[in-house]
Structure 1
Amino acid sequence: MAFEDDKFDDSTIDTSGTPPESVVTDFRHDQDLPRTTTQPNPSSIPWPGSTFIIRSISDGHVITLLNGEITLAPPGGFGAYRWECVEARGWLGFREHASALFLGHDDQGNIACFGKKHLEWENFSVRMKPDGGYVLLAAHGEKHRDGLWPLGIKKDKQGVVRLVRFKGPLINAMSWGFCKV
């Protein structure tokens, strides 16, 4: 004689609180077990041969080519915001797909997109920040003699927000995320 409790339980289990993946964030020295978090990595590593959306971690806006100008805009809006990462002479470059133009800077330090080739004005370096995200650095000066300057934003006299390279400490630099597409 079988009891009700002995029957096969075909009820479903609620897994809505179970994350789809875990990411190893560090390794505990006292055990051989990794400590995990349910938070996915918010950024990919910029690497040649991949395409990225480059976003400001502070407000989520993305580097966008709109009407021939570089701006920070909300993702999904007008403009082009997919950047192919390429490499030349050890430097990274970012080429916008539709126009085939490279992200670079003009002689005033404004970030622009007019280069048809990956030359000195289109050279970038990316450095990981300890608190997350990356610093996006633009080469500065003839033959890069004046070093690497981080990208940031400034308002011009007309109130237009511009993406620029500026001389300043890395600790104060803007944090960027690279979302691989």
Structure 2
Amino acid sequence: MELSHAMSAITIAPRNPLPNSPPPHILDSTAIHSAIPTAGHIYVLWDRNTGKVLTMREGKLEMCQPDKLRRHRDNWYWECKEMAGWLSLRQPASGLYVGYELRPKGYRYDAVLIVGKSNEHDRFCYKLAVDGGYQLWWKRDDDLHVVVLDPTSGTNLHLRPSGPKDVVTWEFVQVDDEA
């Protein structure tokens, strides 16, 4: 734990500016970019490929351009929690956790906000992506499922057993000193 806490304070600047870099209001001196997801901190999660951020909009998870949400910043701040060695993302303003629900059609799981306290549907781990950033993998029974962006809507997130197609590469921008 001490090593991960020490590593979470390291700022890693990208070598070249990303085509969809974080919005200017996140690029202030208090934010830590390319932060390692660590329990006890608050982050803005943005997709390195689209420039969209993970947000709660009208009670649902959605990927949105950040300039549309400036007045409602609490809707796109995510507190990282730890439970039994797994990480969870909690939306501080609502107290809801990011998790998933099963859909009857096909082998698909939708990432959704779930009510109240943490449970097995909101636990995830991360893997370092080859091009930087992180992939999020949710625990489903004894398997891990990667978070992907729905190519049709461009805003909805799903979980899939594996595969590189449409996998979201997240940048964790730390926006606090200590949660």
Could you tell me how far apart the structure 2 residues matched to 1:175 and 1:57 are?
6
Could you tell me how far apart the structure 1 residues matched to 2:137 and 2:127 are?
8
Q: 2:96 aligns with which of 90, 93, 101?
A: 101
Change (3 A) 1:24 1:153: closer
Tell me, yes or no, if the aligned pair for 2:53 and 2:64 is still in contact at 8 Å.
yes
Could you tell me how far apart the structure 1 residues matched to 2:46 and 2:16 are?
22
Displaced runs of 4+ in structure 1, greater than 4 A?
A: 37-42
Structure 2 unaligned spans of 5+: 1-10, 18-26, 104-108
Counterpart for residue 180 of structure 1? 174
Structure 1 unaligned spans of 5+: 1-22, 26-36
| TM-score between the two structures when normalised by the length of structure 2 | 0.70
The 5 A counterparts of 1:119-130 are 119-130=119-130
Tell me, yes or no, if the aligned pair for 1:115 and 1:122 is still in contact at 8 Å.
no
The 5 A counterparts of 1:164-175 are 164-169=158-163, 173-175=167-169
Tell me, yes or no, if the aligned pair for 2:150 and 2:166 is still in contact at 8 Å.
no
Tell me, yes or no, if the aligned pair for 2:12 and 2:35 is still in contact at 8 Å.
no
- The structure whose Rg is larger is 1
Task: State the 1:172 CA deviation.
Answer: 6.5
Tell me, yes or no, if the aligned pair for 2:47 and 2:171 is still in contact at 8 Å.
yes
| TM-score between the two structures when normalised by the length of structure 1 | 0.70
Q: 1:154 aligns with which of 147, 150, 153?
A: 150
Counterpart for residue 59 of structure 1? 50
How many residue pairs match? The answer is: 142
SS of residue paired to 1:148: strand
Give the residue type in structure 2 aligned to 1:174.
V
Q: Calculate percent identity across the aligned residue pairs.
A: 24
Task: State the 1:115 CA deviation.
Answer: 2.7
Tell me, yes or no, if the aligned pair for 2:33 and 2:174 is still in contact at 8 Å.
no
How large is the Cα RMSD of the aligned pairs? 2.6
SS of residue paired to 1:110: strand
Tell me, yes or no, if the aligned pair for 1:135 and 1:150 is still in contact at 8 Å.
yes
Change (3 A) 1:132 1:106: same
Change (3 A) 1:74 1:172: closer
